[in-house]
Structure 1
């Protein structure tokens, strides 16, 4: 392990301490390592687009927008190989929220998400992408050894 000295202003240190406490970290070093790992997972790589990923696409749309509900269902059906599941919630008389779980090559997932978010009548959309490669999953867990929890395929 390497030792690093970092200077942090009081406001940021207070935020780090809150993060540490909320996350159950034993010390600041553990919290900082966790934040660095999370930041590095977001860093794009040259071959990142071809890598498989899983993603959550969250979007809110106006279901009264002409033909929008039909278009969204059609888009999901034409990308059935990418769609894992969708949760649909009625927010009010006209607004629906959907959370779609997707899988596939990152560029294809991002393209599909951009297409859905860009539809007329979609008012909000955000995609959260998680690498699905085994080595990336181990890095995300913070260890390369035994897991402390079960996965469905175990």
Structure 2
């Protein structure tokens, strides 16, 4: 393991220590390692260096929008290789929330997320990219067709 030293202002060190304590870290080193991993993986995902990913994707839409629910369902069926599962929640008389768990090639997942988000009637959307080391063979282990 390689060691290095950093200097922080007293104020930044106090804020960092409070942040560490609030999240339950045992020490500064583990907190810094997690922050570095998160930043590096985030950069890999945004620069298309991560060939595969997992993600949680949520969006709110008006279910009264003409044929929107049908279009969204069709898009999910078309991307059955990316969509691991979905959850549908009725927020009120008009609005629904869907959350999808996705995994696959990063470019394909990103394209799917962008396509859903761009649908007329989708009000809000957010994606959470989750770093994961996936081999190409791991991507289809969740699907077991009936025989």
Give the SS at the match of 1:34.
helix
Q: Which residue of 1 aligns with 2:56?
A: 56
Q: 1:48 to 1:35 in 2, by over 3 A?
A: same
The whole-number CA distance in structure 1 between the counterparts of 2:71 and 2:84 is 18
In structure 1, how many angstroms separate the alpha carbons of the residues matched to 2:123 and 2:3? 46
Contact 1:90/1:97 (8 A) holds in 2: yes
Structure 1 gaps, min length 5: 136-151
**Could you tell me which residue of structure 2 aligns to residue 5 of structure 1?**
6
Contact 1:52/1:131, CA 8 A, preserved across alignment = no
Q: CA RMSD in A?
A: 2.2
1:107 maps to 107
Cα offsets for 1:86-129 (capped at 9, x unmatched) = 01111111111111011110000000000001101111111122
**Equivalent position of 2:94 in the other structure:** 94
Distance 1:47 1:121 in 2: 29
Matches of 1:74 and 1:23 in 2, distance apart?
A: 41
Q: Which residue does 2:20 correspond to in 1?
A: 20
Q: Which residue of structure 1 lines up, in the alignment, with residue 138 of structure 2?
A: none
Matches within 5 A, 1:1-154: 1-8=2-9, 10=11, 12-44=12-44, 48=49, 51-134=51-134
**Counterparts of 1:15 and 1:90 in 2: how far apart (Å)?**
40
CA–CA distance in 2 between the matches of 1:103 and 1:134? 9
- TM-score calculated relative to the size of structure 2: 0.80
CA contact (8 A) 2:102 2:109 kept: yes
Please say if residues 48 and 106 of structure 2, whose CA atoms lie closer than 8 Å, have aligned partners that are also in contact. no
Q: List runs of 5+ in structure 2 lacking aligned partners.
A: 136-141, 143-147
Three-state SS of the structure 1 residue aligned to 2:38 is helix
Check the 8 A contact 2:48/2:107 in 1, yes or no: no
**Contact 1:76–1:83 (8 Å) recurs in 2:** yes
